[in-house]
A and B are shown apart, each in its own frame.
Chain A
């Protein structure tokens, strides 16, 4: 069985387990199950439209952008430009992290460095739309200090993971 089939099988097992959990909760405390279902539907409504756009964008990039281009901007020789793209991209990206996983995996398959992907994901901890809210809860000082440390942390994690993960790591989940 190839890796992709194994992954799909695991997805369906995970879905079946979640459904079983819902059934169990529905029998033991029906009001909690209804509450959980309502919250899940809210999240789904928020996530699906943006996910569809992101997947369309991924497909378009896949067709139009050559692997050499991604390799140039996010690959081994991307230098400071690569770090800037990863950190800035992470800060301005929207939506839940899991929406970005397929896009990022695609970048990896086209030669993007693991360190830059990890830096991108960590820089997403800076939530631009929520910054005013954070300032109102914790103040300017806290928000500024935390934001700077997150960027430094994202950069250091990228460096560390570049040392730990091999370049062929991206080929593990799918048979490309």
Chain B
């Protein structure tokens, strides 16, 4: 079993008994169960179209984007490579492990730590494909502020990590 699957199993093992015991502790269990199920079902139906669309787009991008396509973007300049790393990580989608594999390959082929850090960081903090879903759930202004900050901080943290590693080396 992969680490990810194990952690999800662990989460289920933790949450399912918690939900069950919390409901069982209530005096009016039947009405509580019905209320919880109704509300959860309503939320599920509400987010389902956007969720399916988002996951569908993620699948399409994964089918079209290869590590070779990414490597062709990097030119060797720290600042522009960091920006390119941030943008390509923000557009790309998938499990974090994929960003580590691609990042490891890029590093091996001579791309700087600055660019690779920006790439793996924006991979998990930015989500161009998820933007419509995020905006529809959390609001457009919140989504814009969060993503702009995440973009800026991917660049800042990448530069800080690169400089720190250089000092420590």
Contact = CB atoms under 8 A, between A and B. Distances in A.
B75 interface: no
Contact of B138 (A59, A105, A128, A160): A105
Interface stretch (A18-26, A70-78, A80-88): A18-26
B32 to A, nearest CB: 7
A146 B157 contact: yes
Interface string B122-161: 0011010010111011111110011001100100110011
A21 B47 CA distance: 20
Interface residues of A, number: 83
B132 A10 contact: yes
A101 B143 CA distance: 11
Contacts, number: 226
A14 B36 contact: no
B149 A160 contact: yes
Contacts of B18: 57
B110 interface: no
Determine the main DSSP class of B at the interface with A: helix
B79 interface: no
B12 interface: yes
Contact of A102 (B43, B97, B139): B43
A137 interface: yes
B115 interface: no
28 contacts: A14-B49, A36-B56, A36-B62, A38-B59, A39-B63, A43-B59, A50-B11, A53-B11, A55-B44, A56-B37, A94-B8, A98-B127, A101-B47, A105-B137, A117-B142, A124-B124, A125-B121, A127-B96, A127-B124, A130-B97, A130-B100, A138-B104, A138-B116, A142-B161, A145-B168, A146-B121, A153-B153, A172-B140
Interface of A: 7-8, 10-12, 14-15, 17-19, 21-22, 25, 32-33, 35-41, 43-44, 46-47, 49-60, 62-64, 94-95, 97-98, 101-102, 104-105, 108, 114, 117-118, 121-122, 124-125, 127-130, 132-134, 137-138, 141-142, 145-146, 149-150, 153, 156-157, 160-161, 164-165, 169-170, 172-173
